[in-house]
């Protein structure tokens, strides 16, 4: 999985996805990633990680950033600037994002991987916090 913590941005897959987002001019990648989760019957861990990153950024665009974004402004300065530039966009994606979070939490490879670890309750708390901020 390439994860070193239960945070949304604490794995290799989402950091690669985030780099692609920072190179983009709009929120199309966020929308595409969320849509892909909703279309897939079974969600692989890399897609689930990327979608959670997309949804975390979507929440931040609505003025509800998580602790990872707020507490790591210096290490995520590029992301912070990107969010500031696109602030307020993506409101129409909130309902789909909530469905995607629910689907990832209920039945995904990422959930299965976390269930096998002692950190599963912490991961669930991270996911529940994200859903609440939407």
Question: If you count them, how many residues does the chain have?
Answer: 134
- pLDDT of the residue at 3: 79
Give per-residue pLDDT as tens, 57-108: 999 999 999 887 776 654 567 888 999 999 999 999 999 999 999 999 999 9
- Full-model pTM: 0.93
φ and ψ of 34, to 5 deg: -65, -45
Confidence grade of residue 36 (pLDDT, cut at 50, 70, 90): very high
Say if CB 104 and CB 52 are below 8 A apart: yes
**Torsion angle in degrees (nearest 10) through CA of 47, 50, 56, 58:** -90
Say if CB 29 and CB 54 are below 8 A apart: yes
- pLDDT of the residue at 18: 93
């Amino acid at each position: 999985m390439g994860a070193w913590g239960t945070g949304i941005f604490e794995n290799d897959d989402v950091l690669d996805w985030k780099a692609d987002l920072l190179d983009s001019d709009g929120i199309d990648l966020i929308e595409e990633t969320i849509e892909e989760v909703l279309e897939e019957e079974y969600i692989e861990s890399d897609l689930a990680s990327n979608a959670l990153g997309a949804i975390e950024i979507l929440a931040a665009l609505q003025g509800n950033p998580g602790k990872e974004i707020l507490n790591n402004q210096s290490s995520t300065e590029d992301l912070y600037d990107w969010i500031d530039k696109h602030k307020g966009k993506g409101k129409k994606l909130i309902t789909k994002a909530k469905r995607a979070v629910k689907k990832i939490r209920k039945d995904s490879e990422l959930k299965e991987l976390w269930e096998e670890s002692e950190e599963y309750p912490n991961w669930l708390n991270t996911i529940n916090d994200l859903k609440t901020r939407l």
